[in-house]
Chains A and B, each alone.
Chain A
Amino acid sequence: MGEEFRAGYNCKYNHNGRQAEVNGIFDIIGPIMVGPSSSHTAGAVRLGLAGRAIVGGQPSRAALTLHGSFAQTYRGHGTDVALVAGILGMRPDDERIPDSFRVAREQGMEFSFAGADLGDVHPNSVLMDLTGPNGSRTTVGGSSIGGGNILITRIDRFNVDFTGTSHALIASYRDQPGVIAKITSLLATEDINIAAMRVSREGRHGRALAIIELDQPVSSEARALITRISGIDTVIALPPVVSA
Protein backbone atom coordinates (compact mmCIF):
# COMPACT_ATOMS: atom_id res chain seq x y z
CA MET A 1 0.00 0.00 0.00
CA GLY A 2 1.21 3.47 -0.74
CA GLU A 3 2.29 6.34 1.43
CA GLU A 4 -0.26 7.85 3.71
CA PHE A 5 -0.55 10.88 5.88
CA ARG A 6 -3.09 12.02 8.37
CA ALA A 7 -3.88 15.52 9.42
CA GLY A 8 -5.98 16.63 12.31
CA TYR A 9 -7.80 13.36 12.65
CA ASN A 10 -9.32 13.17 16.08
CA CYS A 11 -10.20 9.64 17.11
CA LYS A 12 -12.67 10.17 19.88
CA TYR A 13 -13.77 6.58 20.23
CA ASN A 14 -11.96 3.86 22.06
CA HIS A 15 -12.24 0.46 20.46
CA ASN A 16 -13.88 -1.27 23.38
CA GLY A 17 -16.28 1.28 24.60
CA ARG A 18 -19.19 3.44 24.01
CA GLN A 19 -18.18 7.01 23.26
CA ALA A 20 -15.09 7.76 25.26
CA GLU A 21 -16.34 11.32 25.00
CA VAL A 22 -19.94 12.09 25.89
CA ASN A 23 -21.46 14.63 23.56
CA GLY A 24 -24.68 15.22 25.41
CA ILE A 25 -27.46 13.87 27.54
CA PHE A 26 -29.10 12.12 24.57
CA ASP A 27 -26.01 9.94 24.15
CA ILE A 28 -26.89 8.53 27.59
CA ILE A 29 -30.70 8.45 27.36
CA GLY A 30 -30.51 7.21 23.79
CA PRO A 31 -30.13 6.57 21.01
CA ILE A 32 -33.53 5.25 20.01
CA MET A 33 -32.66 2.06 18.16
CA VAL A 34 -33.80 -1.36 17.12
CA GLY A 35 -32.16 -3.95 19.35
CA PRO A 36 -30.52 -6.03 20.50
CA SER A 37 -26.99 -4.65 20.33
CA SER A 38 -25.57 -1.20 19.66
CA SER A 39 -22.40 -2.73 18.20
CA HIS A 40 -23.85 -5.74 16.38
CA THR A 41 -27.16 -4.20 15.24
CA ALA A 42 -27.14 -0.37 15.23
CA GLY A 43 -23.48 -0.24 14.16
CA ALA A 44 -24.17 -2.81 11.43
CA VAL A 45 -27.03 -0.67 10.07
CA ARG A 46 -24.65 2.29 9.92
CA LEU A 47 -22.00 0.26 8.11
CA GLY A 48 -24.62 -0.64 5.52
CA LEU A 49 -25.69 3.02 5.25
CA ALA A 50 -22.08 4.03 4.70
CA GLY A 51 -21.67 1.40 1.97
CA ARG A 52 -24.83 2.62 0.26
CA ALA A 53 -23.65 6.22 0.41
CA ILE A 54 -20.23 5.32 -0.97
CA VAL A 55 -21.70 3.58 -4.04
CA GLY A 56 -24.08 6.49 -4.49
CA GLY A 57 -27.43 4.81 -4.01
CA GLN A 58 -29.10 1.45 -3.82
CA PRO A 59 -26.87 -1.40 -4.99
CA SER A 60 -28.32 -4.07 -7.24
CA ARG A 61 -26.19 -6.66 -5.50
CA ALA A 62 -24.44 -6.92 -2.11
CA ALA A 63 -22.03 -9.73 -1.23
CA LEU A 64 -21.15 -9.44 2.45
CA THR A 65 -18.24 -11.14 4.19
CA LEU A 66 -18.48 -11.25 7.99
CA HIS A 67 -15.44 -11.49 10.25
CA GLY A 68 -14.85 -12.40 13.89
CA SER A 69 -17.69 -11.75 16.31
CA PHE A 70 -19.87 -10.59 13.40
CA ALA A 71 -19.41 -14.03 11.81
CA GLN A 72 -19.93 -15.87 15.12
CA THR A 73 -23.03 -14.14 16.47
CA TYR A 74 -24.74 -12.53 13.50
CA ARG A 75 -27.90 -14.64 13.65
CA GLY A 76 -28.86 -13.85 17.22
CA HIS A 77 -27.90 -10.20 16.95
CA GLY A 78 -29.55 -9.72 13.58
CA THR A 79 -26.26 -8.36 12.19
CA ASP A 80 -27.18 -9.83 8.80
CA VAL A 81 -30.59 -8.15 8.55
CA ALA A 82 -29.11 -4.96 10.01
CA LEU A 83 -26.42 -4.73 7.31
CA VAL A 84 -28.98 -5.31 4.56
CA ALA A 85 -31.32 -2.75 6.18
CA GLY A 86 -28.57 -0.13 6.12
CA ILE A 87 -27.73 -0.89 2.50
CA LEU A 88 -31.45 -0.37 1.76
CA GLY A 89 -31.22 3.06 3.41
CA MET A 90 -32.96 2.29 6.71
CA ARG A 91 -31.81 4.13 9.85
CA PRO A 92 -30.92 2.28 13.11
CA ASP A 93 -34.37 3.01 14.61
CA ASP A 94 -36.35 1.70 11.62
CA GLU A 95 -38.77 -1.00 12.72
CA ARG A 96 -38.53 -2.69 9.31
CA ILE A 97 -34.95 -3.78 10.08
CA PRO A 98 -35.96 -7.35 11.08
CA ASP A 99 -37.83 -7.63 7.73
CA SER A 100 -35.03 -6.18 5.61
CA PHE A 101 -34.46 -9.42 3.66
CA ARG A 102 -38.05 -9.32 2.47
CA VAL A 103 -37.79 -5.60 1.62
CA ALA A 104 -34.58 -6.31 -0.34
CA ARG A 105 -36.31 -9.04 -2.35
CA GLU A 106 -39.27 -6.72 -3.04
CA GLN A 107 -36.89 -4.02 -4.24
CA GLY A 108 -34.88 -6.46 -6.33
CA MET A 109 -31.61 -6.18 -4.41
CA GLU A 110 -29.65 -9.42 -4.37
CA PHE A 111 -27.59 -10.18 -1.28
CA SER A 112 -25.41 -12.98 0.03
CA PHE A 113 -23.36 -13.71 3.15
CA ALA A 114 -20.13 -15.52 3.82
CA GLY A 115 -17.84 -15.82 6.83
CA ALA A 116 -14.10 -15.37 6.50
CA ASP A 117 -11.01 -14.33 8.43
CA LEU A 118 -10.30 -10.81 7.19
CA GLY A 119 -6.97 -10.71 9.00
CA ASP A 120 -5.87 -8.17 11.57
CA VAL A 121 -9.07 -6.16 11.82
CA HIS A 122 -11.52 -5.33 14.62
CA PRO A 123 -13.62 -8.36 15.73
CA ASN A 124 -16.82 -6.73 14.45
CA SER A 125 -15.91 -6.25 10.82
CA VAL A 126 -17.53 -6.67 7.43
CA LEU A 127 -16.36 -6.45 3.85
CA MET A 128 -19.13 -5.34 1.47
CA ASP A 129 -18.80 -6.06 -2.24
CA LEU A 130 -21.45 -3.75 -3.66
CA THR A 131 -22.64 -3.41 -7.24
CA GLY A 132 -23.74 0.20 -7.44
CA PRO A 133 -26.69 1.72 -9.30
CA ASN A 134 -24.39 2.45 -12.27
CA GLY A 135 -23.27 -1.19 -12.44
CA SER A 136 -19.73 -0.70 -11.10
CA ARG A 137 -18.46 -2.77 -8.21
CA THR A 138 -16.99 -1.22 -5.09
CA THR A 139 -15.55 -2.98 -2.05
CA VAL A 140 -16.17 -1.25 1.29
CA GLY A 141 -14.67 -2.55 4.53
CA GLY A 142 -15.64 -1.34 7.98
CA SER A 143 -15.87 -2.14 11.66
CA SER A 144 -18.41 -1.54 14.40
CA ILE A 145 -16.21 -0.24 17.21
CA GLY A 146 -18.66 0.01 20.12
CA GLY A 147 -21.73 1.94 21.15
CA GLY A 148 -23.06 1.96 17.59
CA ASN A 149 -20.02 3.88 16.31
CA ILE A 150 -18.32 2.73 13.13
CA LEU A 151 -15.06 3.05 11.29
CA ILE A 152 -14.85 2.69 7.50
CA THR A 153 -11.42 1.16 6.92
CA ARG A 154 -11.28 0.24 3.28
CA ILE A 155 -12.64 1.43 -0.06
CA ASP A 156 -11.56 -0.80 -2.93
CA ARG A 157 -7.79 -1.15 -2.68
CA PHE A 158 -7.34 1.82 -0.38
CA ASN A 159 -7.00 1.83 3.38
CA VAL A 160 -9.17 4.61 4.74
CA ASP A 161 -10.16 5.71 8.20
CA PHE A 162 -13.33 7.67 8.87
CA THR A 163 -16.22 7.47 11.31
CA GLY A 164 -19.23 8.66 9.32
CA THR A 165 -20.01 11.26 11.98
CA SER A 166 -19.49 14.19 9.64
CA HIS A 167 -19.95 15.09 6.00
CA ALA A 168 -17.19 13.67 3.85
CA LEU A 169 -15.83 14.00 0.36
CA ILE A 170 -14.19 10.98 -1.25
CA ALA A 171 -12.17 11.73 -4.35
CA SER A 172 -10.27 9.21 -6.43
CA TYR A 173 -7.67 10.61 -8.83
CA ARG A 174 -4.33 10.00 -10.49
CA ASP A 175 -1.49 11.04 -8.20
CA GLN A 176 0.05 14.34 -9.40
CA PRO A 177 1.04 17.62 -7.80
CA GLY A 178 -1.70 20.10 -6.98
CA VAL A 179 -4.85 17.96 -6.99
CA ILE A 180 -5.35 18.20 -3.24
CA ALA A 181 -4.55 21.92 -3.30
CA LYS A 182 -7.20 22.48 -5.98
CA ILE A 183 -9.80 20.48 -4.05
CA THR A 184 -9.12 22.27 -0.78
CA SER A 185 -9.07 25.72 -2.35
CA LEU A 186 -12.41 24.98 -4.01
CA LEU A 187 -13.78 23.91 -0.63
CA ALA A 188 -12.42 27.14 0.87
CA THR A 189 -14.18 29.32 -1.70
CA GLU A 190 -17.41 27.45 -0.91
CA ASP A 191 -16.80 28.29 2.79
CA ILE A 192 -16.59 24.59 3.70
CA ASN A 193 -14.35 23.82 6.66
CA ILE A 194 -12.13 20.72 6.67
CA ALA A 195 -12.26 18.71 9.89
CA ALA A 196 -9.90 15.89 8.94
CA MET A 197 -8.16 14.58 5.85
CA ARG A 198 -6.44 11.41 4.74
CA VAL A 199 -4.76 10.74 1.41
CA SER A 200 -3.39 7.45 0.15
CA ARG A 201 -2.01 6.28 -3.19
CA GLU A 202 -0.83 3.11 -4.83
CA GLY A 203 2.52 4.67 -5.62
CA ARG A 204 3.95 7.74 -7.29
CA HIS A 205 1.70 8.75 -10.21
CA GLY A 206 -0.57 5.81 -9.34
CA ARG A 207 -4.22 5.82 -8.37
CA ALA A 208 -4.91 7.85 -5.25
CA LEU A 209 -7.80 8.39 -2.87
CA ALA A 210 -8.57 11.37 -0.64
CA ILE A 211 -11.05 11.23 2.25
CA ILE A 212 -11.86 14.71 3.47
CA GLU A 213 -14.16 15.07 6.50
CA LEU A 214 -16.06 18.34 6.51
CA ASP A 215 -18.06 20.52 8.87
CA GLN A 216 -20.53 21.47 6.11
CA PRO A 217 -22.16 19.50 3.29
CA VAL A 218 -20.80 19.77 -0.26
CA SER A 219 -23.37 21.18 -2.67
CA SER A 220 -23.92 19.35 -5.94
CA GLU A 221 -22.49 22.42 -7.73
CA ALA A 222 -19.29 22.27 -5.70
CA ARG A 223 -19.06 18.55 -6.29
CA ALA A 224 -19.39 19.10 -10.04
CA LEU A 225 -16.60 21.70 -9.94
CA ILE A 226 -14.32 19.30 -8.07
CA THR A 227 -15.10 16.55 -10.58
CA ARG A 228 -13.77 18.82 -13.36
CA ILE A 229 -10.34 19.21 -11.72
CA SER A 230 -7.68 17.67 -13.99
CA GLY A 231 -6.72 14.16 -12.86
CA ILE A 232 -9.88 13.59 -10.81
CA ASP A 233 -11.67 10.33 -11.54
CA THR A 234 -14.71 10.17 -9.25
CA VAL A 235 -16.04 12.33 -6.43
CA ILE A 236 -18.51 11.13 -3.83
CA ALA A 237 -20.17 13.44 -1.30
CA LEU A 238 -21.17 11.46 1.78
CA PRO A 239 -23.71 12.61 4.35
CA PRO A 240 -23.08 11.67 7.99
CA VAL A 241 -24.41 8.16 8.75
CA VAL A 242 -23.94 8.44 12.51
CA SER A 243 -25.99 11.00 14.41
CA ALA A 244 -27.51 11.15 17.90
Chain B
Amino acid sequence: MYVSIAELTHAATSRSLSIGAAVREQEALHSGEPQDALNRRMQERLAVMRDSVGRGLAGVRSRSGLTGGDARRMAQARTVTADGTASGAPMLIGGEPLASAIAYALAVAEVNAAMGRIVAAPTAGSCGVLPGVLFSVGEIRGAGDPELVDALFAAGGVGAVIARSSTLAGAAGGCQAECGAAAAMAAAAAVQIAGGTPEQCASGVALAFKGLLGLVCDPVAGLVEVPCIKRNATSVAVALAAADMALAGIRSVIPADEVIQAMGAIGRELPVSLRETALGGLAVTPTGKRIASEINAGRDSAAASNAPQAAESEKGDDPGI
Protein backbone atom coordinates (compact mmCIF):
# COMPACT_ATOMS: atom_id res chain seq x y z
CA MET B 1 0.00 0.00 0.00
CA TYR B 2 1.15 3.55 -0.65
CA VAL B 3 2.93 5.24 2.23
CA SER B 4 2.21 8.83 1.24
CA ILE B 5 -0.28 10.92 -0.72
CA ALA B 6 2.66 12.21 -2.78
CA GLU B 7 3.66 8.68 -3.77
CA LEU B 8 0.04 7.76 -4.55
CA THR B 9 -0.46 10.91 -6.64
CA HIS B 10 2.79 10.30 -8.53
CA ALA B 11 1.90 6.66 -9.23
CA ALA B 12 -1.48 7.68 -10.66
CA THR B 13 -0.26 10.71 -12.64
CA SER B 14 2.78 9.00 -14.19
CA ARG B 15 0.64 6.19 -15.54
CA SER B 16 -2.44 8.24 -16.43
CA LEU B 17 -4.59 6.43 -13.89
CA SER B 18 -7.13 7.82 -11.46
CA ILE B 19 -6.20 7.70 -7.79
CA GLY B 20 -8.84 4.99 -7.32
CA ALA B 21 -7.44 2.84 -10.15
CA ALA B 22 -3.91 3.15 -8.76
CA VAL B 23 -5.09 2.11 -5.31
CA ARG B 24 -7.00 -0.90 -6.67
CA GLU B 25 -4.00 -2.01 -8.70
CA GLN B 26 -1.75 -1.80 -5.65
CA GLU B 27 -4.30 -3.65 -3.51
CA ALA B 28 -4.47 -6.44 -6.10
CA LEU B 29 -0.68 -6.76 -6.00
CA HIS B 30 -0.60 -6.69 -2.22
CA SER B 31 -3.49 -9.11 -1.57
CA GLY B 32 -3.18 -11.40 -4.56
CA GLU B 33 -6.87 -10.91 -5.33
CA PRO B 34 -7.80 -10.07 -8.93
CA GLN B 35 -9.07 -6.54 -9.55
CA ASP B 36 -12.58 -7.65 -10.53
CA ALA B 37 -12.89 -9.52 -7.21
CA LEU B 38 -11.83 -6.34 -5.40
CA ASN B 39 -14.44 -4.42 -7.38
CA ARG B 40 -17.13 -6.87 -6.28
CA ARG B 41 -16.16 -6.53 -2.63
CA MET B 42 -16.24 -2.75 -2.90
CA GLN B 43 -19.58 -2.90 -4.73
CA GLU B 44 -20.95 -4.86 -1.76
CA ARG B 45 -19.86 -2.04 0.55
CA LEU B 46 -21.42 0.53 -1.77
CA ALA B 47 -24.71 -1.39 -1.58
CA VAL B 48 -24.64 -1.40 2.24
CA MET B 49 -23.93 2.35 2.21
CA ARG B 50 -26.88 2.92 -0.12
CA ASP B 51 -29.20 0.82 2.05
CA SER B 52 -28.16 2.73 5.16
CA VAL B 53 -28.93 6.05 3.45
CA GLY B 54 -32.39 4.81 2.51
CA ARG B 55 -33.12 3.49 5.96
CA GLY B 56 -31.98 6.68 7.66
CA LEU B 57 -34.03 8.90 5.35
CA ALA B 58 -37.12 6.87 6.21
CA GLY B 59 -36.45 7.71 9.87
CA VAL B 60 -34.84 5.82 12.73
CA ARG B 61 -34.36 6.41 16.45
CA SER B 62 -31.28 5.56 18.47
CA ARG B 63 -31.20 2.96 21.21
CA SER B 64 -30.71 5.64 23.87
CA GLY B 65 -33.57 7.67 22.40
CA LEU B 66 -31.29 10.71 22.08
CA THR B 67 -31.16 11.01 18.32
CA GLY B 68 -32.92 10.15 15.09
CA GLY B 69 -35.33 11.65 12.59
CA ASP B 70 -33.10 14.55 11.51
CA ALA B 71 -32.11 12.97 8.19
CA ARG B 72 -35.78 12.78 7.29
CA ARG B 73 -36.29 16.37 8.42
CA MET B 74 -33.38 17.53 6.24
CA ALA B 75 -34.53 15.53 3.23
CA GLN B 76 -38.04 16.93 3.48
CA ALA B 77 -36.70 20.50 3.74
CA ARG B 78 -35.03 20.12 0.33
CA THR B 79 -38.43 20.26 -1.34
CA VAL B 80 -39.76 23.29 0.58
CA THR B 81 -39.77 26.74 -1.03
CA ALA B 82 -39.07 29.98 0.85
CA ASP B 83 -42.47 31.51 0.04
CA GLY B 84 -44.41 28.28 0.13
CA THR B 85 -45.36 28.36 -3.55
CA ALA B 86 -44.47 25.56 -5.93
CA SER B 87 -42.37 27.87 -8.12
CA GLY B 88 -40.68 29.77 -5.30
CA ALA B 89 -36.97 29.74 -4.47
CA PRO B 90 -35.80 26.90 -2.20
CA MET B 91 -35.98 27.49 1.54
CA LEU B 92 -32.50 25.99 2.02
CA ILE B 93 -29.64 28.26 1.04
CA GLY B 94 -26.75 25.85 0.46
CA GLY B 95 -28.16 24.29 -2.72
CA GLU B 96 -27.18 20.92 -4.14
CA PRO B 97 -25.24 18.74 -3.66
CA LEU B 98 -24.85 20.18 -0.13
CA ALA B 99 -28.44 19.64 1.04
CA SER B 100 -28.46 16.03 -0.12
CA ALA B 101 -24.98 15.40 1.26
CA ILE B 102 -26.11 16.63 4.68
CA ALA B 103 -29.30 14.54 4.57
CA TYR B 104 -27.42 11.37 3.53
CA ALA B 105 -24.65 11.85 6.10
CA LEU B 106 -27.23 12.32 8.86
CA ALA B 107 -29.09 9.26 7.58
CA VAL B 108 -26.12 6.90 7.77
CA ALA B 109 -24.90 8.26 11.13
CA GLU B 110 -28.41 7.94 12.56
CA VAL B 111 -28.70 4.36 11.34
CA ASN B 112 -25.38 3.65 13.05
CA ALA B 113 -26.68 5.07 16.34
CA ALA B 114 -29.85 3.00 15.91
CA MET B 115 -27.82 -0.22 15.68
CA GLY B 116 -28.40 -0.56 11.95
CA ARG B 117 -25.92 -1.96 9.44
CA ILE B 118 -23.31 0.49 8.13
CA VAL B 119 -19.88 0.52 6.55
CA ALA B 120 -17.25 1.88 8.95
CA ALA B 121 -15.45 4.31 6.61
CA PRO B 122 -13.02 4.84 8.14
CA THR B 123 -14.80 4.34 11.50
CA ALA B 124 -18.35 3.73 12.70
CA GLY B 125 -18.46 7.16 14.34
CA SER B 126 -17.60 8.89 11.04
CA CYS B 127 -19.54 6.53 8.78
CA GLY B 128 -21.87 9.21 7.32
CA VAL B 129 -19.36 11.56 5.72
CA LEU B 130 -18.15 9.46 2.79
CA PRO B 131 -21.57 8.14 1.65
CA GLY B 132 -23.02 11.64 2.10
CA VAL B 133 -20.52 13.18 -0.30
CA LEU B 134 -20.31 10.16 -2.61
CA PHE B 135 -24.01 9.79 -3.39
CA SER B 136 -24.82 13.51 -3.55
CA VAL B 137 -21.93 14.29 -5.93
CA GLY B 138 -22.65 11.10 -7.86
CA GLU B 139 -26.25 12.23 -8.39
CA ILE B 140 -25.44 15.68 -9.75
CA ARG B 141 -22.74 14.20 -12.03
CA GLY B 142 -24.83 11.22 -13.15
CA ALA B 143 -22.12 8.81 -11.98
CA GLY B 144 -22.86 5.09 -12.18
CA ASP B 145 -21.82 2.43 -9.69
CA PRO B 146 -18.46 1.72 -11.38
CA GLU B 147 -17.44 5.37 -10.91
CA LEU B 148 -18.65 5.32 -7.31
CA VAL B 149 -16.70 2.11 -6.65
CA ASP B 150 -13.58 3.74 -8.16
CA ALA B 151 -14.14 6.75 -5.93
CA LEU B 152 -14.35 4.45 -2.87
CA PHE B 153 -10.95 3.00 -3.79
CA ALA B 154 -9.57 6.54 -3.98
CA ALA B 155 -11.04 7.35 -0.56
CA GLY B 156 -9.72 4.08 0.85
CA GLY B 157 -6.22 4.76 -0.45
CA VAL B 158 -6.23 8.16 1.26
CA GLY B 159 -7.50 6.59 4.49
CA ALA B 160 -4.80 3.92 4.40
CA VAL B 161 -2.11 6.59 4.17
CA ILE B 162 -3.67 8.43 7.14
CA ALA B 163 -3.81 5.19 9.17
CA ARG B 164 -0.17 4.49 8.41
CA SER B 165 1.25 7.92 9.06
CA SER B 166 -0.95 8.98 11.97
CA THR B 167 -4.20 7.46 13.25
CA LEU B 168 -7.90 6.92 12.52
CA ALA B 169 -8.95 6.48 16.16
CA GLY B 170 -10.80 9.15 18.10
CA ALA B 171 -9.30 7.76 21.30
CA ALA B 172 -5.84 8.47 19.92
CA GLY B 173 -6.38 11.63 17.85
CA GLY B 174 -9.79 13.12 18.61
CA CYS B 175 -12.56 13.65 16.06
CA GLN B 176 -10.10 15.12 13.55
CA ALA B 177 -8.83 11.54 13.17
CA GLU B 178 -12.34 10.26 12.42
CA CYS B 179 -14.58 12.93 10.82
CA GLY B 180 -11.49 14.87 9.68
CA ALA B 181 -10.04 11.82 7.98
CA ALA B 182 -13.45 10.94 6.53
CA ALA B 183 -13.76 14.44 5.05
CA ALA B 184 -10.28 14.21 3.52
CA MET B 185 -11.17 10.83 2.01
CA ALA B 186 -14.53 12.15 0.78
CA ALA B 187 -12.91 15.21 -0.82
CA ALA B 188 -10.64 12.93 -2.86
CA ALA B 189 -13.66 10.87 -3.91
CA ALA B 190 -15.64 13.97 -4.88
CA VAL B 191 -12.81 15.47 -6.94
CA GLN B 192 -12.33 12.17 -8.76
CA ILE B 193 -16.06 11.82 -9.57
CA ALA B 194 -16.09 15.42 -10.78
CA GLY B 195 -13.27 14.65 -13.22
CA GLY B 196 -10.39 16.30 -11.35
CA THR B 197 -6.77 15.16 -11.69
CA PRO B 198 -4.91 13.10 -9.08
CA GLU B 199 -3.06 16.31 -8.10
CA GLN B 200 -6.43 17.98 -7.50
CA CYS B 201 -7.57 14.99 -5.42
CA ALA B 202 -4.47 15.46 -3.25
CA SER B 203 -5.26 19.16 -2.88
CA GLY B 204 -8.78 18.23 -1.82
CA VAL B 205 -7.36 15.91 0.85
CA ALA B 206 -5.10 18.64 2.26
CA LEU B 207 -7.74 21.40 2.13
CA ALA B 208 -10.44 19.29 3.80
CA PHE B 209 -8.15 18.01 6.52
CA LYS B 210 -6.85 21.49 7.31
CA GLY B 211 -10.43 22.63 7.85
CA LEU B 212 -10.98 20.05 10.60
CA LEU B 213 -7.57 19.96 12.33
CA GLY B 214 -7.89 20.11 16.09
CA LEU B 215 -11.47 18.83 16.17
CA VAL B 216 -11.93 17.12 19.53
CA CYS B 217 -13.86 13.97 20.42
CA ASP B 218 -16.23 14.82 23.28
CA PRO B 219 -19.25 12.51 23.04
CA VAL B 220 -22.10 13.14 25.45
CA ALA B 221 -22.51 10.13 27.78
CA GLY B 222 -19.76 8.44 25.76
CA LEU B 223 -22.26 7.55 23.04
CA VAL B 224 -21.73 7.83 19.27
CA GLU B 225 -24.63 10.30 18.98
CA VAL B 226 -24.15 13.86 20.26
CA PRO B 227 -22.32 15.61 18.64
CA CYS B 228 -21.10 12.81 16.35
CA ILE B 229 -24.12 12.58 14.06
CA LYS B 230 -24.23 16.29 13.25
CA ARG B 231 -20.44 16.46 12.98
CA ASN B 232 -20.77 13.94 10.16
CA ALA B 233 -23.12 16.39 8.48
CA THR B 234 -20.97 19.48 8.98
CA SER B 235 -17.91 17.54 7.81
CA VAL B 236 -19.50 16.98 4.39
CA ALA B 237 -19.65 20.75 3.96
CA VAL B 238 -15.91 20.97 4.60
CA ALA B 239 -15.29 18.12 2.16
CA LEU B 240 -17.38 19.77 -0.57
CA ALA B 241 -15.75 23.19 -0.02
CA ALA B 242 -12.32 21.56 -0.27
CA ALA B 243 -13.30 19.64 -3.41
CA ASP B 244 -14.59 22.78 -5.08
CA MET B 245 -11.42 24.73 -4.22
CA ALA B 246 -9.31 21.88 -5.58
CA LEU B 247 -11.36 21.76 -8.80
CA ALA B 248 -10.87 25.52 -9.14
CA GLY B 249 -7.13 24.90 -9.16
CA ILE B 250 -6.49 26.12 -5.63
CA ARG B 251 -3.60 24.31 -4.00
CA SER B 252 -2.87 23.78 -0.35
CA VAL B 253 0.27 25.63 0.72
CA ILE B 254 1.00 22.79 3.16
CA PRO B 255 1.15 19.49 1.23
CA ALA B 256 -1.34 16.74 2.14
CA ASP B 257 1.28 14.48 3.74
CA GLU B 258 2.47 17.26 6.04
CA VAL B 259 -1.14 18.05 6.99
CA ILE B 260 -1.63 14.37 7.89
CA GLN B 261 1.56 14.42 10.00
CA ALA B 262 0.33 17.58 11.71
CA MET B 263 -2.99 15.89 12.49
CA GLY B 264 -1.17 13.05 14.24
CA ALA B 265 0.99 15.49 16.20
CA ILE B 266 -2.04 17.55 17.24
CA GLY B 267 -3.78 14.36 18.33
CA ARG B 268 -0.90 13.44 20.60
CA GLU B 269 -1.01 16.90 22.17
CA LEU B 270 -4.76 16.76 22.82
CA PRO B 271 -5.56 16.13 26.47
CA VAL B 272 -7.08 12.74 27.24
CA SER B 273 -10.31 14.50 28.27
CA LEU B 274 -10.87 15.41 24.59
CA ARG B 275 -10.14 12.00 23.14
CA GLU B 276 -13.32 9.93 23.36
CA THR B 277 -13.37 9.74 27.15
CA ALA B 278 -16.46 11.95 27.61
CA LEU B 279 -14.53 13.92 30.26
CA GLY B 280 -14.35 17.25 28.44
CA GLY B 281 -15.89 19.59 25.88
CA LEU B 282 -19.57 19.10 25.06
CA ALA B 283 -19.73 16.00 27.26
CA VAL B 284 -19.28 18.11 30.41
CA THR B 285 -21.60 20.99 29.51
CA PRO B 286 -24.60 21.25 31.87
CA THR B 287 -26.84 19.65 29.25
CA GLY B 288 -24.28 17.01 28.36
CA LYS B 289 -23.83 16.04 32.00
CA ARG B 290 -27.57 15.95 32.62
CA ILE B 291 -28.14 13.63 29.64
CA ALA B 292 -25.29 11.39 30.78
CA SER B 293 -26.64 11.09 34.31
CA GLU B 294 -30.12 10.30 32.98
CA ILE B 295 -28.82 7.58 30.68
CA ASN B 296 -26.40 6.13 33.23
CA ALA B 297 -29.08 6.18 35.91
CA GLY B 298 -30.69 3.48 33.85
CA ARG B 299 -33.79 5.28 32.70
CA ASP B 300 -35.28 3.50 29.77
CA SER B 301 -34.87 4.93 26.31
CA ALA B 302 -38.39 6.32 26.20
CA ALA B 303 -37.76 8.44 29.28
CA ALA B 304 -34.57 9.82 27.79
CA SER B 305 -36.15 10.73 24.49
CA ASN B 306 -39.15 12.34 26.12
CA ALA B 307 -37.11 14.58 28.41
CA PRO B 308 -37.69 18.16 27.24
CA GLN B 309 -34.10 19.02 26.23
CA ALA B 310 -32.75 15.52 25.86
CA ALA B 311 -32.81 15.55 22.09
CA GLU B 312 -30.57 18.16 20.51
CA SER B 313 -33.27 18.84 17.95
CA GLU B 314 -36.17 19.78 20.12
CA LYS B 315 -37.56 22.15 17.51
CA GLY B 316 -40.00 20.86 14.95
CA ASP B 317 -42.37 17.97 15.17
CA ASP B 318 -41.05 14.66 16.23
CA PRO B 319 -41.56 12.46 13.19
CA GLY B 320 -42.92 9.85 15.54
CA ILE B 321 -40.89 6.84 14.54
Out of B111, B115, B119, B298, which one reaches A29, CB within 8 Å? B119
Q: Which residues of A contact B256 (CB under 8 A)?
A: none
Check B315 for interface membership: any CB of A closer than 8 A.
no
With most chain A CB atoms within 10 A of its CB, the pick from B66, B120, B171, B225 is B120
Check A240 for interface membership: any CB of B closer than 8 A.
no
Q: Which residues of A contact B112 (CB under 8 A)?
A: 35-36
Out of A17, A41, A81, which one reaches B169, CB within 8 Å? A17
Check B146 for interface membership: any CB of A closer than 8 A.
no
Q: Are A32 and B117 in contact (CB under 8 A)?
A: yes
Output the least CB separation between B158 and chain A (Å): 8
- Given contacts A16-B172, A29-B152, whether A76 and B163 have CB atoms under 8 Å apart is no
Q: Identify which of residues 1-47 in chain A touch chain B, using a CB-to-CB cut-off of 8 Å.
A: 14, 16-19, 22, 24-38, 41-42
Q: Which residues of B contact A193 (CB under 8 A)?
A: none
A98 to chain B: closest residue by CB:
B115
Out of A29, A37, A69, which one reaches B125, CB within 8 Å? A37
Q: Are A29 and B64 in contact (CB under 8 A)?
A: no
Output the least CB separation between B269 and chain A (Å): 15
Write the A138-154 contact mask toward B (1 if CB under 8 angstroms, else 0).
Answer: 00000000111000000
Q: Which residues of B contact A97 (CB under 8 A)?
A: 115
Q: Identify which of residues 55-86 in chain A touch chain B, using a CB-to-CB cut-off of 8 Å.
A: 69, 72-73, 75-78, 81
Output the least CB separation between B283 and chain A (Å): 11
Check A95 for interface membership: any CB of B closer than 8 A.
yes
Q: Are A76 and B23 in contact (CB under 8 A)?
A: no
Q: Which residues of A contact B163 (CB under 8 A)?
A: 18-19, 22, 27-28
Check A117 for interface membership: any CB of B closer than 8 A.
no
With most chain A CB atoms within 10 A of its CB, the pick from B44, B122, B124 is B124
Chain B interface residue count, Cβ-Cβ cutoff 8 angstroms: 57
- Given contacts A18-B168, A28-B159, A30-B119, whether A73 and B23 have CB atoms under 8 Å apart is no
Q: Are A76 and B156 in contact (CB under 8 A)?
A: no
Check A156 for interface membership: any CB of B closer than 8 A.
no
Check B273 for interface membership: any CB of A closer than 8 A.
no
Q: Are A29 and B117 in contact (CB under 8 A)?
A: no
Q: Which residues of B contact A26 (CB under 8 A)?
A: 41-42, 45, 156
Q: Are A28 and B122 in contact (CB under 8 A)?
A: yes
A28 to B159, CA, bound (A): 6
Count, A-B residue pairs, CB within 8 A: 153
Check A110 for interface membership: any CB of B closer than 8 A.
no
Q: Are A18 and B115 in contact (CB under 8 A)?
A: no
Q: Are A72 and B124 in contact (CB under 8 A)?
A: no
Check B249 for interface membership: any CB of A closer than 8 A.
no
Check A93 for interface membership: any CB of B closer than 8 A.
yes
One of B4-12, B86-94, B200-208, B216-224 contacting the partner: B216-224
Write the B162-200 contact mask toward A (1 if CB under 8 angstroms, else 0).
Answer: 011001110110000000000001000000000000000
Out of A29, A36, A81, which one reaches B159, CB within 8 Å? A29
Q: Are B222 and A73 in contact (CB under 8 A)?
A: yes
Q: Identify which of residues 17-44 in chain B touch chain A, using a CB-to-CB cut-off of 8 Å.
A: 23-24, 27, 30-31, 38, 41-42, 44
Q: Which B residues are closer than 8 A to A by beta carbons?
A: 1, 23-24, 27, 30-31, 38, 41-42, 44-45, 48, 62-64, 66, 111-125, 127, 130, 152-153, 155-157, 159-160, 163-164, 167-169, 171-172, 185, 221-225, 295-296, 298, 301
Known: A18-B163, A18-B169, A35-B116. 20 other contacts (CB 8 A): A18-B123, A18-B168, A25-B1, A26-B42, A28-B159, A28-B163, A28-B185, A29-B119, A29-B130, A34-B115, A34-B116, A34-B118, A36-B63, A36-B124, A72-B296, A73-B222, A75-B301, A76-B64, A76-B295, A77-B224
9 A–B contact pairs at CB < 8 A?
A18-B122, A18-B168, A19-B163, A22-B1, A27-B163, A28-B155, A32-B45, A33-B117, A41-B124
